[in-house]
Amino acid sequence: MQVYNLITLIIVLTAIFGYINFKFFKLPLTIGIMIISLVASLVVILIGHFNVPFYNQVADTIKAIDFQTALMRVMLSFLLFAGAIHINLNKLRKESVSVFTFATIGVLMSTLIVAMLLYAVTLWLGYSLNFIYCLLFGALISPTDPIAVLGILKEAKIPPSLEIKITGESLFNDGVAVVVFIAISEVIHTGIDNITVGQIIWLFLREAAGGILLGILLGYGGFVLLRSIDNYIVEMLITLAMVMGGYLLASKIHVSGPLAMVAAGIITGNKSMEKGMSRTTRDYVNKFWEMMDEVLNGILFMLIGFEMLVIPFTLNLLWIGCICIVIVLLARFISVAIPIWVLKIKKTFEKHAIPILTWGGLRGGISVALALSLGKSSFNEAFVSLTYIIVLFSIIVQGLTIGRFARKLSV
């Protein structure tokens, strides 16, 4: 019953905040909900100065929500699949080189640059932080999450080819970054002297290639089933089973669930919808997954706002967090600019692609969830606080200005 009560509370608050945003503020849904939940958190903190038991009760309720499990093991599979089924495979093929480069080499470059700059800054400030932990932070903060501002980008009328780059990158680099994070975590856990380069490469290949292969099998298996019947309710259930069962299977056989969901979603959104579904089924499936995407994003960003109540902050962490914002933006700029300069030899890129991709590369819930998965220790809690500061800046400042920024550049 307690789990049901928590889910009920989350849904009710998300609905209330969504209504308030739509009625009064007119901000993009996810950003509006998160800002309102942040304000609610500040109100709770203010009331807590006069009524400590009330604050403790609210904080305990937030602590009862396992954010890392809720996102990484439940919501992420739905969000990635829902995003992937709306990807046009023909457009993605045209931009496949750019998307692949940003989602792999870009993520690895960003991880390394963040790690080097963070190591230098902490050394300068007098903190002793092992470089391998800086790499771990680089991996968890590198995945971009521009899904929250895709609506703004469309309103800004950016070139469709740039939009598919952002969307494709956001879907694939989530999975790649999680694999990099797992690989670095394994090195830390096993000990750098007890693991070989070959083992790290095998771990990466097993997670990444295995996840994509599983997703392809799920996608084509679903296509065979969907093509053989014409009943939108059963077909909807099949897509749900692909997501929930496929993600569970990925965790059991130790391959990347996020990459499996992206691959399965792309196949379902193109092959299954074009050749395996009737027009009625296609309409229902599209609307169902679009609704799932919006609802779960709303819940996710509401939870991010309330995490403020349970994440520790100090003046030093706030100061370092501000420095880390600059570090992450600089790493994003370099990890976008260098691949574009190299790819320009054979490909044409849109005007102002580098600044738009840099400022539009938001950090979101995945980074927070990965930070929370580190467990309890002094530096782990510091990483959670730094990640939260970066994510708040990214979503609120970059998310609310990317539309105007893109329009200004296009003038």
Cα distances (Å, whole numbers) of residue 361 to 158, 346, 356: 15, 24, 8
- In this prediction, residues 67-83 reach a mean pLDDT of 89
CATH topology of domain 67-410: Na+/H+ antiporter like fold (1.20.1530)
Q: How confident is the model at residue 36 (pLDDT cuts 50, 70, 90)?
A: very high
Give yes or no for residue 148 having a pLDDT over 80. Answer: no
Dist CA 103 CA 164 (whole Å): 13
Mean pLDDT, to the nearest integer, of 54-83?
Answer: 89
For the stretch 228-249, pLDDT in tens is: 999 999 999 999 999 999 999 9
Q: Is the pLDDT of residue 150 over 70?
A: no
pLDDT exceeds cutoff 90 at 410: no
pLDDT average, residue stretch 82-91: 89
pLDDT of residue 404: 84
Q: What is the pLDDT of residue 152?
A: 58
Nearest-angstrom CA–CA distance, 207 and 182:
9
pLDDT-derived band of residue 77, with 50, 70 and 90 as boundaries? very high
The DSSP 8-state label assigned to residue 30 in this structure reads: H
Average pLDDT, the chain: 90
The per-residue pLDDT for 147 is 57
Range 25-40 average pLDDT: 92
Give the percent of the chain with pLDDT over 70.
95
**Is residue 127 very low, low, confident or very high in pLDDT (cuts 50, 70, 90)?**
confident
- Per-residue pLDDT band for 145 (boundaries 50, 70, 90) equals confident
State the pTM of this model: 0.92
The pLDDT value given to residue 73: 84
* Of the candidate ranges 29-33, 114-118, 332-336, the one whose mean pLDDT is the lowest: 29-33
DSSP string, 311-372: S---HHHHHHHHHHHHHHHHHHHHHHHHHHHHHTTT----TTHHHHHHHT----HHHHHHHH
Higher pLDDT, 15 or 72: 15
